[in-house]
């Protein structure tokens, strides 16, 4: 079994940070952790997004589409980051898969 945790970060112009970590087991994503200094109104919108991503299970090829789809569901209520920040952080996490970080 091959298990890795990979992370990517993106700082939004103006100073807000988004960080995405992927738990990857045998080339399948078994959970996504989204964190950073963004906020949502109401606050439970961000909590709901974080919970849905934590339970995400998908192939590597579909992970960008699925994460961005979940973000798009609540993006109008999230402040400090945007879709392109989430996408870039996610792509950086995926790019680090070959770096040899093991969980």
The yes-or-no verdict on residue 19 having pLDDT over 90 is yes
Q: Is residue 88 part of a domain?
A: yes
Q: Is residue 40 part of a domain?
A: yes
Q: Is residue 22 part of a domain?
A: yes
Reported pTM:
0.87
Q: Is residue 103 part of a domain?
A: no
Q: Please answer whether residues 93 and 29 qualify as being in contact, where contact means their C-beta atoms are separated by less than 8 angstroms.
A: no
Q: Please answer whether residues 47 and 71 qualify as being in contact, where contact means their C-beta atoms are separated by less than 8 angstroms.
A: no
Q: What is the CATH number of the domain that holds 28?
A: 3.30.390.50
pLDDT band, residue 103 (cuts 50/70/90): very low
Q: Degrees (nearest 5) of the Cα angle 6, 12, 16?
A: 85
Number of domains, the chain: 1
Phi, psi of 40, deg, nearest 5: -135, 155
How many angstroms separate the first and last alpha carbons of the chain? 11
Give the residue numbers spanning the domain of 70: 3-98
The residue ranking higher by pLDDT, 12 or 35, is 35
Q: Residue 22: helix, strand or coil by DSSP?
A: strand
Q: Is residue 39 part of a domain?
A: yes
For 47-58, the pLDDT digits (tens) are 888 999 999 999
């Amino acid at each position: 079994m091959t298990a890795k945790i990979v992370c990517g970060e993106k700082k939004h112009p103006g100073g807000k940070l988004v960080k995405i970590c992927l738990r990857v087991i045998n080339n399948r994503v078994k959970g996504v952790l989204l964190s950073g200094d963004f906020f949502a109104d109401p606050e439970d919108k961000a909590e709901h997004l974080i919970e849905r991503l934590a339970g995400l299970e998908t192939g590597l090829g579909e992970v960008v589409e699925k994460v961005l789809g979940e973000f798009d569901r609540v993006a109008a209520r999230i402040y400090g980051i945007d879709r392109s920040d989430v996408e870039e952080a996610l792509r950086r996490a995926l790019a680090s898969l070959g770096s040899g970080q093991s969980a």
